[in-house]
Amino acid sequence: LALRRAARAKVREFGAFARSRPFLASGATSSCILGATDMLVQRTTCEENAPWDRRRTLSMFLWGALWYGGPQQFFWTRLYPAVIGRGTQLQAAATCFADCVLNMGVSYLPAFYLFTGAVRGKAVSESVADLKKDYFATLSGMSGFWLPVQFCNFYFVPVHLQTYVVSAANVVNKSWLSWMRSRKTEAEQPGMPTDVSYGFLPPRETMDFSVVCAGAGVLTAMSVLELIA
């Protein structure tokens, strides 16, 4: 009980900061979480003596700072409330579809692959090839995860706290996305498994990513809402 009260107090402190400085709060929180998550993913999925891919971690850190502290935060705090509105289940569902399907497919994934590829020293043609190869699998998994999370987020959570919900959920989601972005054959990148599981995902050939990610999204949404309730 004391731990729960302490957690709620921290949420309120973060809420005050996010309300006064929404773009800075979003960028700072997301960059730290994405960078730390990628380090954890590399630690738990690569071979024991495999070197740490610093550029990969840097790409995730910078992506969190620039995207979530910029365009994505603008969508959440300015664009969606102005165009769609908020407060009803229908508006939450419409915002969720706009964010998790339209935005995800049209702007988020292309920008993510091109930006992180550039930070890691890849040519644009290589990043485009990676995007084409993984596009539908990544889009289905990302949408499957974020649809339940973001519906609860847009319907129940005040705008200034939505970044916190996304940051918490990103611990799960970005583990998966970081892996999707970085899958290589053993010949191309020694030390990186060709089909890692992260401990909570079965091999790709034996699963439906969208179903698994949707389940993870539901559990994540329930956990975060319980914390802030």
The three state secondary structure string of the chain is CHHHHHHHHHHHHHHHHHHHCHHHHHHHHHHHHHHHHHHHHHHHHCCCCCCCCHHHHHHHHHHHHHHHCCHHHHHHHHHHHHHCCCCCHHHHHHHHHHHHHHHHHHHHHHHHHHHHHHHCCCCHHHHHHHHHHHHHHHHHHHHHHHHHHHHHHHHHCCHHHHHHHHHHHHHHHHHHHHHHHHCCCCCCCCCCCCCCCCCCCCCHHHCCHHHHHHHHHHHHHHHHHHHHC
Q: Give dist(CA 72, CA 52) in Å, integer.
A: 29
Residue 15 scores a pLDDT above 70: yes
Residue 16's pLDDT band (cuts 50, 70, 90): confident
- What is this structure's pTM? 0.73
What is the predicted pLDDT for the residue at 147?
A: 93
Residue 185 scores a pLDDT above 50: no
Please state, rounded to an integer, the average pLDDT across all residues of the chain. 78
Q: Give dist(CA 32, CA 167) in Å, integer.
A: 9
Residue 224 scores a pLDDT above 70: no
- Average confidence (pLDDT) over 38-57: 82
